[in-house]
Amino acid sequence: MTQILRIRIAALALATMLAVPGIAAAQETGVILVGGLNISKLSIPFPDFDFEELDLTVENSTRLGFAGGVLFDVNAFRRGGFTLGALYSQRGTKMDAEIIGFGVGKVDFNMEYLEFPLLARVGVGGDGTAFSVLAGGMIGIPLRARTVFSSFGIDEDESFTDALPDVDFGVTFGGRADFGRGSVTAWYTHGLTDLTEGISPEPVRHRVFTVLAGWRF
Please, how many CA atoms are within 13 Å of residue 3, restricted to the half-sphere of its CB? Answer: 4
pLDDT tens digits, the chain, 217 residues: what are they? 456 656 666 666 655 555 554 544 445 678 999 999 999 999 987 654 455 555 567 778 899 999 999 999 998 887 889 999 999 999 999 988 776 666 677 889 999 999 999 999 999 866 556 899 999 999 999 999 999 988 767 788 999 999 999 999 999 999 999 988 999 999 999 999 999 998 888 899 999 999 999 999 8
Instruction: Give CB contacts under 8 A, 24+ apart, made by 101-109.
Output: 101/55, 103/151, 103/152, 104/151, 105/149, 105/150, 105/151, 106/149, 106/150, 106/151, 107/147, 107/148, 107/149, 107/150, 108/63, 108/147, 108/148, 108/150, 109/42, 109/63, 109/145, 109/147
> Which pLDDT belongs to residue 217?
86
CA 36-107-111 angle, to 5 degrees, is 40
Q: Name the class of domain 3-44+62-93+109-144+170-216.
A: mainly beta
**CB neighbour list of residue 102: distance below 8 Å, 6 or more residues apart:** none
**116: exposed, middle or buried (Cβ count in 10 Å: 0-12, 13-18, 19+):** buried
> Which pLDDT belongs to residue 168?
96
User: Do 168 and 162 contact (CB within 8 A), yes or no?
Assistant: no
Please report which residue ranges of 81-154 form alpha helices under DSSP H.
Answer: none
Enter the pTM of the model.
Answer: 0.83
- In what helix (H) or strand (E) does residue 129 lie, and over which residues does it extend? strand 129-151
> Which pLDDT belongs to residue 9?
61
